[in-house]
Copies of this chain bind each other. A is one copy, B any other.
Amino acid sequence: MSMLHTRRTLLTVICEASIEARVLADARRLGAHGSTASDARGWGQHGERDGGWPMSGNVRIDILCEAAVADTIAGHLQEHYFRSYAMICYLSEVSVLRSEKF
């Protein structure tokens, strides 16, 4: 067998669970083909709305996609959510098998 390794970007978004569905809908509209989410809790200066810590009811969303799509989604989130919601975004480079899916 041959393995298909391709570089992709993993965009990780940590935000309030209340906006998970909105963020996922935006990501899908902007080119994401899939995502993985899990419950999380955090503390920190996450967004202007939340001044202190601790914070619970968070979600961690991982979106595996091409670099350009990750940039588009991250830019959209920064523009539409960062001012009003607790949200962290970071990107990392990974090697993906089955890359034809993303």
Contacts and interface: CB of A to CB of B under 8 A. Distances in A.
Interface in A29-83: 33-46, 53, 58, 60, 64, 71, 74-75, 77-79, 82
Contact of A79 (B1, B14, B90, B92): B1
Contacts of A78: 1, 3, 97-98
Interface residues of A, number: 47
Nearest to A95: B91
Interface of A: 1, 3, 5, 8, 10, 12, 14, 24, 28, 33-46, 53, 58, 60, 64, 71, 74-75, 77-79, 82, 87-98, 101
7 contacts: A1-B75, A8-B90, A10-B90, A34-B44, A34-B46, A82-B98, A89-B97
